[in-house]
Structure 1
Amino acid sequence: MYWADATAEKIIKKRDRDGIEEYVVSSGITPSGHIHVGNARETLTADGIHQGLKKAGKKSKLIFVADDYDPLRKLYPFLTEEYTKYIGMPLSEIPCPEGCCNSYAEHFLNPYLNSLKDLGIEITTYRASECYKAGMYNDAIIKALDNRLKIKEILDGFRKEPLADDWYPLNVVCEKCGKMINTKILGYNSEDKTITYVCSDCGFENNVQPFNGIGKLPWRVDWPARWQIFGVTAEPMGKDHGASGGSYDTGVKISRMVYGYVPPEKMIYEWIQLKVGDKAVPMSSSAGVVFAVKDWNEICHPEILRFLLVRSKPSKHIDFDLKGIPNIVDDYDELERKYFELIEKQKSSSEELNTNDLDKIRLYEVITTNISEKLPVQVAYKFCSIIAQIAIADNEEIDMERVYDILGRNGYNVEEFTEFDKNRLIARLEMSKNWAKNYGEKLNINTKEQAKMEYEKLSDAQKEWVNTFIERFESLESNEITAMNLHELIYEIANSLELSPKEAFGASYAILLSKKYGPKLGSFLASLSSEKVIELYKLN
């Protein structure tokens, strides 16, 4: 059974007896910097479980809580010195770094929420700043203050050093300077529900009810309070929160003992590491090691990101290598072919599919929001990146007429392309062009002079192969210049000259690209204009 469906099934077995009318699956993030692909794993994991609950016939709601009322904790590498003065203020109250959004928080949050729409995820978003200011946390704040000693005892049970005796489970946003990390509660009156606090940043002191945004619960209390406020029954979490003694363990106790709420099931996901050179480094917004979700949509289809993040169990580690995007797309294309093959098998055969095949069908349906009626035309991502760099018009736009000609020479029946096929092809061409430009290999085809220099370095046998090949190439009719014909011609000439195919290919890649390797040679040559091939090979 697909992992998300299996997880949903376990949750239902545990929680159905509680008489739950609607399951609520939650995820969230603090928008302190660029929200990256690693963060997206939590949201997509939550969505997978949400889909599993719905498949099981349960009413389910997917929510996202943006912790935009958390303070700016330090001056991050991407901020100017001017932002030093905002350290300690809630992210929602700080100006946008680029002046394009209503706040610092919105600057980083909006692109991520827009990306979720592109990923086909329907989600209800709550901003902590709005929730606190609207009074949604008021009762939770009272309970936390009334149970201060109980919460302290719970937290101290997981600490090496106990919290101070005068500690309170509440952070106060100073009414004068707007900062919250250096305010201290001096006392709490349970009768009129007021606190007395002082701000060491500006010296302001006041006695006030800490409601409607004046007070904010610290994370280890805010989280269990949130479970009760939103009725959360399932929430994925990073391994730091789920570790022994982490915020989930303390949250469970606070949820039960203070808020009287059954905590959500524990579901830990592994972090995603970004490959930088030969090293894999955990993604971190604050450290600047990120690949933002909004940037993904510039280089690849949304469903491929979903495929990357939810094809395996959340507990499986993922190393994310931008240079490896073509391989991920190839794997998705393979799944797509298998999906349509299995659907056809279901229609035409009474034989039941095995669990592995059913999981593949389920995975494809979960990650692909717009499923075609039949197997779409598939043009490999890496090949698209090559075509997109060859078929460039004078205005730097992709020349689709040239693209269709290239595809025709590579065995595609362009006349049978549907609108769905054409739209997906155009998107893949643009995305792969962006990928090649920023992360992959740019296609730098040699000039005549460069080809001559490479030709002089070849062995006599390789030179003979080049001369023979171009002689035969010039004799071909236009409709004979196809990837298959050229592939066969390469081997035929090499065999006739008793030259190894490796040496023949090596000679070609040297002349074309000044490299020892390159794209599939037959397809590549069929993609170039005949004039270009003759220019680079006719060197004797």
Structure 2
Amino acid sequence: MSIVTEERDYQHWIDALVEEAINYWGKRVSKIDCSCGLSVSGLQHVGRLRGEITLANTVMQQLRQKGLDSKHYVVRYTSDEWKGKESQLAQFPDPTKAKKYVGRRLVDIPDPQCELGSWVDRYWLDFGPYLDYFSRDTTVVSTNEIYTWPQMHELIRFTIQHRERARKIINKYRVRNPYPKDWFPINVICDACKRINTTTVVSVDLNAYTASYRCDECSHEGTTSIENGKLSWRLEWAALWKILDVGFEPFGKDHATPGGSRDSAKEIAETFYNFKPPVPYANEWVGLIENGVDKGDMGSSDFNGFTPKTWVSVAPGEALRYIYLKNKSMKRITLGLEYIPNYIGQYERAERVYYQIDLPRAPPLEIADIRRSYELANLDPLPEMAPLQVPYLHAVLLTQIIPEENLPDAALEKLTETGIIPKTLTDNQRTSITTRLDRARSWVTSFAPASYRIITLSAPPDGLRDTVPDELRPVFQQLHDSLNPDEWTEEAITTTMRKLTESMSKDTQRGFFEFLYQAFFGTDKGPRISTYFAFTDSLLIRDRVKYLATLPK
């Protein structure tokens, strides 16, 4: 039983969407399958985890909780043509030679690194194997495989037999470039040049399931199996809905424009294939932030973004799910690896709110939204008691002041000594903390801004003591005297510092902390100083503070 929510007027947007889907299909419906489509045209970035994975999978889970059968299909569009954009060509050692692959199916493009079976295998590698961090029980299917299914054969036969009716529907959306009367609704692969975008089908044998064609690129004429091809894309989208019996499908906002691709697929479903199309739901794209600069929307063929593999190397999947579920789908979100501590902080704050450890000053409906978003973000059943939290930045600090060969044991010892974790841990708690330390180390090594990377100086910078203002020397002496080695915890150190600085002006406070950072790191900024003190030998800390209090000789 969830503790969410006491507010009767509150409904999370996911719950509203699930309710909409059930009402759309009828209260007596027993099954609503969810689907999403991904073109493996290049980098499979974390932006694709928003609508296609997190949204669709969460709807599936909630449908199941209501007693309905539901699947989540992840459709890989592998039969689409490879366009050979500059960013795609650049993945090959010789981009000029790679131009010969333009127009071939994605699944037929070789791996640029010559290690895997295809382009699709290469760019699915950092995405597909990591789906379980962000979803549960997904069923991955590829369009080149679906075209071999008997039910797709039958649907294509029907489409070809009634192609004139299909042509009239589609031409309403192709006013500037309508299909001619001799049009066939399929594209097939040229046996000679392997392109799928340059062939024109001239006749078909539906009994043999073959198509005769001519290639406008290499002038080859031949006959091939219709399996070696694909439907035109507007028909293909509707056909996949029918084949997979899709009841709900999110999609990118580019398909949602009036008179656009989604509208045309809807009409094809209703008036040509004669079935009810799935519940639609558009989602905004996700932007990339690098060094504080918005680099635009993440893009697969543009190779703009970072992958789920990278995300899980530095953060839990639930933290990203929380961001996606807390924000409605048409709100633009930007993500940058430099901000990983912030994202994890948002998720763990929601956890404390959910378990009523934190009681924020916020409207009741906002608190309800935080709790429900947290609940939905978690893939596994939530425990009765709040999970043990080790702040991410604490882990970032520990992995820098403790030699790697001493991790995780020395870090666990420090966390225990400072009262952050109990002396006795369960196996799951120890594993969780170890994973956090590994991820923090990965982040600070590869993605952290310079301000998070520290090296403790073996001695204060030359002449630093000479520059300490006279009014701060007694404060540093008081700090030295107040720091009790027998109460060496972050809380005790923070309390001591607060008492010493609370009556200072902002400028004096800034100077006080800058001298501390300079004494230990040689910089004006650094980690939270009380955390650093707590994790560092008390003798070193007190000696260095004493140095700042002492008059130069």
For Structure 1 versus Structure 2, the TM-score category normalised by the shorter chain is 0.7 to 0.9
5+ residue gaps, structure 1, are 343-353
Q: Report if aligned partners of 1:336, 1:375 keep a CA contact under 8 Å in 2.
A: yes
Q: Rate the CA distance shift 1:92–1:189 in 2: closer, same or farther, 3 A.
A: closer
Q: Which amino acid aligns with 2:142?
A: R
5+ residue gaps, structure 2, are 1-10, 358-363
| Equivalent residue in structure 1 for 2:334, among 319, 322, 333 | 319
Q: CA deviation at 1:53?
A: 1.4
| Equivalent residue in structure 1 for 2:195, among 179, 186, 196 | 179
Q: Which amino acid aligns with 1:162?
A: N
Q: CA deviation at 1:233?
A: 0.9
Q: Which amino acid aligns with 2:389?
A: Q
Hey, what does 2:91 align to over in structure 1?
A: 78
| Equivalent residue in structure 2 for 1:39, among 48, 60, 65 | 48
| Equivalent residue in structure 1 for 2:412, among 404, 407, 413 | 404
Instruction: Say which SS state the counterpart of residue 451 (structure 1) adopts.
Output: coil
Counterparts of 1:337 and 1:398 in 2: how far apart (Å)? 31
Q: Rate the CA distance shift 1:203–1:162 in 2: closer, same or farther, 3 A.
A: closer
Q: Rate the CA distance shift 1:194–1:95 in 2: closer, same or farther, 3 A.
A: closer
Counterparts of 1:145 and 1:207 in 2: how far apart (Å)? 16
Q: Which amino acid aligns with 1:254?
A: I
Instruction: Say which SS state the counterpart of residue 486 (structure 1) adopts.
Output: helix
Hey, what does 1:292 align to over in structure 2?
A: 307
Instruction: Say which SS state the counterpart of residue 181 (structure 1) adopts.
Output: coil
Hey, what does 2:276 align to over in structure 1?
A: 262
Q: Report if aligned partners of 1:275, 1:320 keep a CA contact under 8 Å in 2.
A: yes
Q: CA deviation at 1:404?
A: 2.8
Hey, what does 1:25 align to over in structure 2?
A: 34
Per mean C-alpha deviation after superposition, the further-off stretch among 50-59 and 77-86 is 77-86
| Equivalent residue in structure 1 for 2:186, among 149, 153, 170 | 170
Q: Report if aligned partners of 2:203, 2:211 keep a CA contact under 8 Å in 1.
A: yes
The answer to whether the aligner puts 1:482 opposite 2:489 as a matched pair is yes
Q: Which amino acid aligns with 1:233?
A: G
Hey, what does 2:361 align to over in structure 1?
A: none
Counterparts of 1:331 and 1:194 in 2: how far apart (Å)? 56
Q: Which amino acid aligns with 2:237?
A: W
Q: CA deviation at 1:432?
A: 1.5
The answer to whether the aligner puts 1:69 opposite 2:76 as a matched pair is no
Q: Report if aligned partners of 1:388, 1:398 keep a CA contact under 8 Å in 2.
A: no
Q: CA deviation at 1:495?
A: 7.7
Q: CA deviation at 1:453?
A: 4.6
Counterparts of 1:85 and 1:335 in 2: how far apart (Å)? 51
Per mean C-alpha deviation after superposition, the further-off stretch among 138-147 and 120-129 is 138-147
Counterparts of 1:333 and 1:420 in 2: how far apart (Å)? 17
1:13-41 superposed Cα distances (whole Å, 9 cap, x missing partner): 11127x64421100121112121111111
Q: Rate the CA distance shift 1:214–1:100 in 2: closer, same or farther, 3 A.
A: same
Q: CA deviation at 1:188?
A: 4.7
Q: CA deviation at 1:519?
A: 2.4
Counterparts of 2:464 and 2:288 in 1: how far apart (Å)? 37
Aligned residues: 523
Counterparts of 2:209 and 2:59 in 1: how far apart (Å)? 40
Counterparts of 1:238 and 1:413 in 2: how far apart (Å)? 43
The answer to whether the aligner puts 1:385 opposite 2:396 as a matched pair is yes
Q: Report if aligned partners of 2:289, 2:334 keep a CA contact under 8 Å in 1.
A: yes
The answer to whether the aligner puts 1:59 opposite 2:69 as a matched pair is yes
The answer to whether the aligner puts 1:504 opposite 2:520 as a matched pair is no
Counterparts of 1:495 and 1:185 in 2: how far apart (Å)? 80
Hey, what does 2:287 align to over in structure 1?
A: 273
Hey, what does 2:22 align to over in structure 1?
A: 12
1:253-302 superposed Cα distances (whole Å, 9 cap, x missing partner): 11122211111112001111111333251001222211111111100012
Q: Rate the CA distance shift 1:503–1:25 in 2: closer, same or farther, 3 A.
A: same
Q: Report if aligned partners of 1:376, 1:420 keep a CA contact under 8 Å in 2.
A: no
Hey, what does 1:345 align to over in structure 2?
A: none
Matches within 5 A, 1:61-140: 61-75=71-85, 76=88, 77-80=90-93, 81=95, 82-140=97-155
1:364-423 superposed Cα distances (whole Å, 9 cap, x missing partner): 33322333342121121122211221122xxx3452333134323533243143322222
Q: CA deviation at 1:472?
A: 5.8
Instruction: Say which SS state the counterpart of residue 316 (structure 1) adopts.
Output: coil
Q: Which amino acid aligns with 1:115?
A: Y
Q: CA RMSD in A?
A: 3.0
Q: Which amino acid aligns with 1:391?
A: I
Matches within 5 A, 1:445-464: 445-448=455-458, 451-464=461-474
Counterparts of 1:144 and 1:62 in 2: how far apart (Å)? 26
Q: CA deviation at 1:433?
A: 1.6
Counterparts of 1:169 and 1:453 in 2: how far apart (Å)? 80
Q: CA deviation at 1:230?
A: 0.8
| Equivalent residue in structure 2 for 1:303, among 318, 321, 338 | 318
Counterparts of 1:485 and 1:22 in 2: how far apart (Å)? 57
Q: Report if aligned partners of 2:43, 2:304 keep a CA contact under 8 Å in 1.
A: no
Q: Rate the CA distance shift 1:365–1:100 in 2: closer, same or farther, 3 A.
A: farther
Instruction: Say which SS state the counterpart of residue 14 (structure 1) adopts.
Output: helix
Q: Which amino acid aligns with 2:522?
A: S
Q: Rate the CA distance shift 1:530–1:193 in 2: closer, same or farther, 3 A.
A: closer
Counterparts of 2:16 and 2:356 in 1: how far apart (Å)? 24
Q: Rate the CA distance shift 1:153–1:380 in 2: closer, same or farther, 3 A.
A: same
Per mean C-alpha deviation after superposition, the further-off stretch among 192-201 and 36-45 is 192-201
Aligned sequence identity (%): 25
Q: Which amino acid aligns with 2:42?
A: G
Q: Report if aligned partners of 1:189, 1:195 keep a CA contact under 8 Å in 2.
A: yes
Counterparts of 2:354 and 2:520 in 1: how far apart (Å)? 38
Instruction: Say which SS state the counterpart of residue 184 (structure 2) adopts.
Output: coil
Q: Rate the CA distance shift 1:147–1:519 in 2: closer, same or farther, 3 A.
A: same
Counterparts of 1:496 and 1:315 in 2: how far apart (Å)? 46
Per mean C-alpha deviation after superposition, the further-off stretch among 505-514 and 380-389 is 505-514
Q: Which amino acid aligns with 2:217?
A: D
Matches within 5 A, 1:232-271: 232-271=246-285
Instruction: Say which SS state the counterpart of residue 525 (structure 1) adopts.
Output: helix
Hey, what does 1:524 align to over in structure 2?
A: 532
Q: CA deviation at 1:227?
A: 0.6
Q: CA deviation at 1:202?
A: 3.3
Counterparts of 1:291 and 1:513 in 2: how far apart (Å)? 31
Counterparts of 1:133 and 1:274 in 2: how far apart (Å)? 38
1:107-130 superposed Cα distances (whole Å, 9 cap, x missing partner): 222432211123342111111111
1:302-359 superposed Cα distances (whole Å, 9 cap, x missing partner): 21121122222212221213222212212211221222339xxxxxxxxxxx876665
Q: Report if aligned partners of 1:462, 1:507 keep a CA contact under 8 Å in 2.
A: no
Counterparts of 1:305 and 1:70 in 2: how far apart (Å)? 29
Counterparts of 1:311 and 1:33 in 2: how far apart (Å)? 28
